[in-house]
Chains A and B, each alone.
Chain A
Amino acid sequence: MSSYEKLVQNTIDLHRQITQAKLTRRDLLKMGMLSAATGMLLPMSGLSLRALAKDDDPTNPAICPVPGLAPPLGMISPPTRPWIEEMPRLVEKQTVRGNHPDNIDTGYYGYGGAPGPMPVGDAQGRGGDSKIHCLYDHPEMASHFPVQNMGHQAWSANGLIYCPPEKWYELREKQFDHVWHKDLPAGSGGQPAWGFDGVFPGPMFRVRYGEPHFVRIHNDLPTRNLGFGINQTSTHLHNMHMPAESDGNPLLPNYSGSYWDHHYPNVYAGVKQFGGLGNPNEGLGTLFYHDHKLDFTAQNVYAGLVGMTSIYDAPGIYANPTMGDYGDPEEATGWRLPCGPNFEFDVGLVFHDRQFDTLGADFFPLACFDGAVGDKITVNGKIQPFFPVKRRKYRFRMLNIGPSRTYQWALSNNSNFVVIATDGNLLPAPITVKTFQQVPAERFDVILDFSKYVPGTQIILYNRAEQTSGAKPTGKLLTPGVPVLKFIVDTGAVVDNSIIPSTLRPLPDISTPVTNNRTWEFKRRSGEWVVNREPFDRNVISATIQEGTAEKWTIVNGGGGWTHPIHVHHEEHRVLSYNGKPVGGLYAGRKDVISLEKNAYAEIYLRFRDFKGLYVMHCHNTVHEDHAMMVLWKLV
């Protein structure tokens, strides 16, 4: 532990003692520990880091503010009362009117096209349908993205995979006012944020294998940003098995006033090997979409550009009728997971920590490239909300969008989480745990059963992992932890046809022989985030991989005491070993994020299937990603 870390730790310990002693502001004032003028802890040794800082000018901002500490080394959000506001559900995304492509807006410029397989028009923006100006504005990119390669791979009748869209959607990225908590000085009017369809989090898509879908994403963002962010976007659907032109590559921004067409074929991985819709044992479930603009991902996601997608199985995809996740409102078919009419019991939970300055204005630490953590944890866009639940089983799709915080979840009554899916993928069998860790970009689907509680019972979801900087959690487990979300059990009986099945989706066979080994070292090198000693360069393709092959990658954390959640686009992986040992439990399933603890290394198995083009691998501490911890790789 460095002297700085010790300093921070001591101060945090003292703050915890003050909290435990239930000292009020009045007590602190009386004891001469609080400034009446600023409402901040006085610069006393051990009480505030300001006293020990090199420069005790309070106007000198911290490099990376420590949430909850006084300036200059810290920043404190204004107080907000817990459990004041109800947790909003994610808006259910609807298709365009009549689910008809004629009702897709042709855009701001008025010369847009109807959706079609060839999205790129000519240099004047005529023809085609996606208005991807960047291809013309940056001719040097033609070597990576020849215009003819931007045609939708799975939308051509002569292609090997032909899955033209059946469901038609539009999204609009725009600025709106969001209320993170009504106690904040911004009040019930809220403060500016960016969001898909003008909400945070963006709407929940419910899509299905065998029903390919199309999304036209209009960029209606203003030129003037939020003090951070950029109005150029590239929307990535995290973990979707999809062609590169619809992946949301960081190098392909969609400019304000333009739009981009994404086509998702919604086939299981292994179409070429298995035929039909591919191998249902490769079924995905809980995905999320977010902006991925090069160098600006953390800022734009923090601005609010993120939403969720749930994908369900094709009807009858398994010969055995007791298998499959069909999103059945009656909970009568397949695995009978909690769902209910209008997905009432299949609920997305988006966790996101934010920092506000002492005046309550949104704050993003632009000057901090270790990472960004805030002292307010939001669920579906609200600080410490409550959520009324009926006396039955629920499926919660938990998503950590970071930018940098790791959670360790526990429930106030020490009850269980029944984990059914990791990174959206249903496990071979449910795993019951009392606590689990969730790093940025990871998803956990859990079943919570409220049927056994008397009406009025309150259960609090706690985060036990202490984290005071963007680099990593301190390692200390708080007791009971930071309260994040309160469930309140409703009165009255309710139908529950759902079950917790003893077995779920089998793991696919991974016997395809490995034809290539690669090693990727993620490291801080002389104040830079690098992969294999090099920072990101848009002109360098770090791996060229043959479609249809399997590879073994060794992912190494090069040290320095940091943690890195690593994500590979397009293909998920299986962990063969972690620090030389086999993994079990929550880490033995199909995963798309591998969390590298300090000095850890992992061997992962990947198959590269079905589609071609340019993809990326990066650290999903998005602040690290934006500071060049990313590589390009190409599937040929």
Chain B
Amino acid sequence: MNRREFFNLGLAPFLLSTSVTATNTISAPVASMANQPAEPLSRLAKNGFLPNVPLVTHRNQNVRFYDDLVREKTVLINFFLIQCSEGRCPLAMANLRQVQNMLGSRMGKDVFFLSITLQPLLNTPQALNKYAEIFKPKPGWDLLTGKPEDVETLRRTLGFADADPELDNDLQNHTSLARYGNDKLERWGMVSLRSSPNNIASTFKWLTV
């Protein structure tokens, strides 16, 4: 049974009130959830560009990638490695820390950062939580892990894999590019997290007008 069938059976209110899918990002009252369309809103999500895989945040919350983290939001998505030998990931995460401050009250309201680990087996939610202490993510910035196959689906589908498998197998070859986008308006671009925090923050100004 898929999600849509669940909604058709009218089970959604019961499901959503359980702890299985409850998250801090769903703020609408439970009663109104049944009226929401079960289908993804954007064509990109329908076409599989934004897979709805289950993930766990560094705050130990179970979430669905599309439904809970991306749907109708403005997001920045990056993949990171805690043991990044060239120091690109620490730089990227430090830049994001500054960007979240620049975004002020928009952070966690209409702009969200999704930082996904490249080593889901190694990085438990607890490990991510410990790593997060360095970057002090505000509400709206989640570090994410999940089942390796789900993280891999996400990595490939969102275009973070190198077309050459030899390069792709080299973990240290991962990109510092982040995908930023607005699901509602279906606008998606990429920005380098090695560029300045101001440069990264500016992309959000141009996404919602």
Contact = CB atoms under 8 A, between A and B. Distances in A.
Nearest to A469: B163
Given A63-B156, A227-B43, A370-B163, A138 B177 contact: no
A60 B185 contact: no
Nearest to B189: A295
A528 B202 contact: no
A61 B195 contact: no
A3 B166 contact: yes
Interface stretch (B3-11, B64-72, B130-138, B168-176): B168-176
Contacts of B194: 528, 534-535
B61 interface: no
A527 B164 contact: no
B159 A369 contact: yes
A124 interface: no
Contact of B185 (A5, A140, A223): A223
B72 to A, nearest CB: 14
B205 A138 contact: yes
A581 interface: no
Closest 4 CB pairs of A and B: A367-B159, A527-B175, A535-B192, A295-B189
B202 to A, nearest CB: 6
B206 A227 contact: no
A582 B153 CA distance: 49
B162 interface: yes
Interface string B183-209: 001111111101110110011011001
A369 B190 CA distance: 9
Interface residues of A, number: 45
23 contacts: A4-B164, A59-B48, A60-B48, A60-B156, A60-B157, A61-B49, A138-B205, A228-B188, A230-B187, A232-B209, A253-B206, A296-B187, A367-B157, A368-B163, A369-B190, A526-B172, A526-B173, A526-B175, A527-B173, A527-B176, A528-B194, A534-B195, A538-B198
Contacts of B159: 63, 366-369
- Among B48, B158, B161, chain A packs the most CB atoms within 10 A around the CB of B161
Contacts of B48: 59-61
A536 B163 contact: no
A4 B177 contact: no
Contacts of B164: 2, 4-5
A348 to B, nearest CB: 30
Contacts of A140: 198, 202
B202 A60 contact: no
A255 B209 contact: yes
B190 to A, nearest CB: 5
B177 A224 contact: no
B122 interface: no
Nearest to A57: B153
A323 interface: no
A137 interface: yes
Contacts of A255: 209
A225 interface: yes
Given A295-B203, A367-B159, A3 B165 contact: yes
Nearest to B198: A539
A537 B186 CA distance: 24
Contacts, number: 123
Interface of B: 43-44, 47-49, 86, 88, 153, 156-159, 161-167, 172-177, 185-192, 194-196, 198-199, 202-203, 205-206, 209
A2 B165 contact: yes
A225 B187 contact: yes
A296 B176 CA distance: 18
Nearest to A223: B185
A360 to B, nearest CB: 14
Contacts of B172: 526
B205 A227 contact: no
Given A5-B164, A232-B209, A367-B159, A528 B86 contact: no
A526 B192 CA distance: 12
A109 to B, nearest CB: 15
Given A60-B157, A534-B194, A626-B190, 7 more contacts: A3-B166, A140-B202, A295-B190, A368-B159, A369-B159, A535-B192, A540-B196
A537 B195 contact: yes
A254 to B, nearest CB: 12
A297 to B, nearest CB: 10
Contacts of A534: 194-195
Contacts of B173: 526-527
A240 interface: no
B49 A366 contact: yes
Contacts of B161: 63
A228 B42 CA distance: 11
A471 interface: yes
A367 B158 contact: yes
Given A295-B189, A367-B159, A627 B177 contact: yes
